[in-house]
Structure 1
């Protein structure tokens, strides 16, 4: 297939960071993610999209994040063969291809209209999958989600770009309109957000990081019905070993200081 044209800017352009990272990590002989679909998409976009230089350590970090969110999603749909999966801010994420769920799973990919238009051109139609063209902060899109199915909401690399109020409004809307399930996402402390502002890949897009969280249990108090199940902030030792010596030393240092140890984490809630 010929390379596809693309014209995304700002926060939308960050989808190219995750795509390139997943493709690059999957090309490594010791790949964790093994996402051949991301590599194929990147090849089809070659010459039509300027993908930011991600760097080896960020590549490994993004792959670890995606792998853990995949595991949580797979475990949920294994327990609930009639589940709904909401992939918020989906970008060009290939999670549905990596997990290859049964058509009995109602899968929803949600993102800005221009991102969904690009996704429709690149992804084949699939039974059970619906693409919704909307900002996730809009209220109307959730009316398209069945309220009688157990649901898992996945937000990878999305919530930190929203305001704190938008995050709370979104979580409250999800927990109110859906019958129950889980919400899984990545989050950063305010210090982590400030440090990420200096990341060359993110700075190249012009995207603004906004929402940070210090105490994962604060969301239990702010959003009725949320219960924290997992708060993962420790790196897998096997994956740390794949990183550069500088990154390994930094992670070892950060892990010894509580404030630094929780700069980035993966969170899983039940509602």
Structure 2
């Protein structure tokens, strides 16, 4: 991570880049709480280096409650990721739609792992001002729906694919095509991703100009899409609400987590040997 101050004042409010700044700020804010759940100190260090109107972001993002929407999901994905890397210290990791997330720096990543963060070119341009590439860590500026970026990823290693807060913004045909390209490219590994209810796209048309494109009731259905995929487990993105200190906020998250298919985190394995198994 670079250490100089970085001017982000050109980031426009409401843009994709601004949304990623908000998420980064929420993780940083939570890391400074008395009893942090995620404890993303890499996010805190990044925010400290960014020259931006974070006071306005604080007022608009309501971190007292919204921080948990970010950190609870990230905590579960971190735990699954850590399990995979412990079992496969020679792995390749693809973090799709990475935003400004510092998972590559938050986890104890074995030095033999090769990690690739992938997002839109404008988002990666911001990342490059915050983080340095190394022999084992690279950033790729591309839409995940463009098949060409995959040519940059080495094969022949167990490959972990993490897509946090991404697939719901793609159309179903794009999700199907992406999963097919990934399982065609890599021999074996795991996929970790979250999904929304099939009602989410309709609600998005009414409330958020249709930015949510895809939802699914039970991600296990993906096994019928792609015979190389095998469902392992799923959990609510808010399953760790018990760790929230504030009793009122904890109750709200408890009730929200009970909603059917609110935001579900899914874990799959994939392998050519699973076809027909």
TM-score range, shorter chain: 0.7 to 0.9
Please give the secondary structure, in 2, of the residue aligned with 1:130.
strand
Please give the secondary structure, in 2, of the residue aligned with 1:187.
strand
Higher relative contact order (CA 8 A, sep 6+): 1
Please give the secondary structure, in 2, of the residue aligned with 1:217.
helix
**How big is each residue's C-alpha offset from its partner over 1:79-133, in whole Å with a ceiling of 9 and x where there is no partner?**
0111000011111111011114133101111111121122111112333011111
Please give the secondary structure, in 1, of the residue aligned with 2:86.
helix
- Contact 2:65 / 2:249 at 8 angstroms: preserved in 1? no
Which residue does the alignment assign to 1:139?
A: 147
- Contact 1:190 / 1:211 at 8 angstroms: preserved in 2? yes
Which residue does the alignment assign to 1:40?
A: 45
Provide the C-alpha distance between the structure 2 equivalents of 1:70 and 1:150, rounded to a whole number of angstroms: 17
User: Is there any run of 5+ residues in structure 2 with no aligned partner, and where?
Assistant: 271-277
- Aligned positions of 1:112-151 closer than 5 A: 112-151=120-159
- Residue 188 (1) aligns with residue 196 (2): yes
Number of aligned pairs? 261
Provide the C-alpha distance between the structure 2 equivalents of 1:91 and 1:237, rounded to a whole number of angstroms: 24
Moved more, 59-68 or 8-17: 8-17
1:56 to partner: Cα distance: 2.3
Which residue does the alignment assign to 1:263?
A: 262
- Residue 26 (1) aligns with residue 50 (2): no
Provide the C-alpha distance between the structure 2 equivalents of 1:148 and 1:161, rounded to a whole number of angstroms: 30
Which among 92, 98, 103 is matched to residue 106 of structure 2? 98
Which among 65, 82, 88 is matched to residue 90 of structure 2? 82
Provide the C-alpha distance between the structure 2 equivalents of 1:160 and 1:20, rounded to a whole number of angstroms: 22
- Residue 216 (1) aligns with residue 215 (2): no
- Contact 1:228 / 1:268 at 8 angstroms: preserved in 2? yes
**How big is each residue's C-alpha offset from its partner over 1:14-38, in whole Å with a ceiling of 9 and x where there is no partner?**
2123212111111111101111111
Please give the secondary structure, in 2, of the residue aligned with 1:208.
coil
- Contact 1:103 / 1:127 at 8 angstroms: preserved in 2? no
Provide the C-alpha distance between the structure 1 equivalents of 2:50 and 2:125, rounded to a whole number of angstroms: 15
- Contact 2:29 / 2:63 at 8 angstroms: preserved in 1? no
1:143 to partner: Cα distance: 1.1
Which residue does the alignment assign to 2:242?
A: 238
Provide the C-alpha distance between the structure 2 equivalents of 1:14 and 1:33, rounded to a whole number of angstroms: 19
**How big is each residue's C-alpha offset from its partner over 1:35-84, in whole Å with a ceiling of 9 and x where there is no partner?**
11111212222326764514322211211111111111111111011100
- Contact 1:159 / 1:167 at 8 angstroms: preserved in 2? yes
- Residue 13 (1) aligns with residue 15 (2): no
1:194 to partner: Cα distance: 5.4
- Contact 1:132 / 1:141 at 8 angstroms: preserved in 2? yes
Which residue does the alignment assign to 2:115?
A: 107
- Contact 1:191 / 1:263 at 8 angstroms: preserved in 2? no
Which among 236, 248, 257 is matched to residue 251 of structure 2? 248
Q: Could you state the TM-score of these two structures normalised by the residue count of structure 1?
A: 0.86
Please give the secondary structure, in 2, of the residue aligned with 1:236.
helix
- Aligned positions of 1:41-56 closer than 5 A: 41-47=46-52, 51=57, 52-56=60-64
User: Is there any run of 5+ residues in structure 1 with no aligned partner, and where?
Assistant: none
Which residue does the alignment assign to 2:275?
A: none
What is the CA RMSD across the aligned residues, in angstroms? Answer: 2.5
